[in-house]
Amino acid sequence: MNMLILSGVALAFSGFAAKGVVMDRHYADIHGRGKEPDSAVRLRMRLIGWLALGLSFIACIGASGWHLGPVLWCGVLSIAAWSVTLLLQYAPRKVLLGAWIGVPAALLAAGLLLFA
């Protein structure tokens, strides 16, 4: 169960990171002043972000059930959002890198949910 929660946290982090890096202010912080993300990139990253957040929800439900799961998810979202916020300020380029953690996390969560 703890691995599932961990993957839930990683997925939430990944989702927020994906949505954060295509926001005007943060995109400029990463790529240089005045740069704006391409609208196709923006859409893709936003969708990936929502997908990761959705998978994070499923992981939390899988970990704690339908009653406590959503409560857990809200807490997980807060932790992930604060982490992304601090990282976007102090190490914006690392956020891009960090967002990739969503991929192994999704695989782990899927594996645990389907086979464990």
Partner 1 sequence: MKEGVVVKEGLRQSMSWVHTWAGLLVCWLLLLVFMAGTAAYYRHEITFWMKPELHKAADAPSKIASADAAVLAVRGLQQRAPAASGWFIDLPSERNPLITASWTNPPKKGMSREERRNAFRQQNFVLDPMTGLDTAAPRDTRGGEFLYRLHFDLYYMSAIWGRWIVGIAAMFMLVAIVSGVITHKRIFKDFFTFRPRKGQRSWLDAHNASAVLALPFHLMITYTGLVTLMFMYMPSPTKALYGEDQNTMFADVFMNVDRTRPARVAAPLADIAPMLQQAERAWGEAPTRVVVSHPNDANAKVELFRPSGRQLSNIEPSMTFNGASGALVSSTGPISTTLSARAALYGLHVAHFADPLLRALFFICGLAGCAMVATGALLWGVKERQKYAKIVAQGGKVGFGVRLVDALNIGAIAGLPVAFAVYFWSNRLLPLELVERSNAEANCFFAAWAGCAILAQIRPTRGMWRFQLTLGALLLGALPLLNALTTHSHLGVTLFGGPGLRPVAGFDLVTLALGLLLGWAAWWLGRKGKKQALAKPAAPAAAANPPAPLEAA
Residues in touch with partner 1 (CB under 8 A): 2, 5, 16, 20, 23-26, 64-65, 67-68, 71-72, 74-79, 81-82, 84-86, 88-89
- Least distance to partner 1 from the beta carbon of 20, Å? 5
Q: What is the 3-state secondary structure (H, E, C) of 29-40?
A: HHHCCCCCCCHH
- Least distance to partner 1 from the beta carbon of 103, Å? 21
Closest CA to 58 of 101, 19, 111: 111
Q: Please report where in the chains the tokens 């609208």 appear, as a residue.
A: 39
- Least distance to partner 1 from the beta carbon of 26, Å? 6
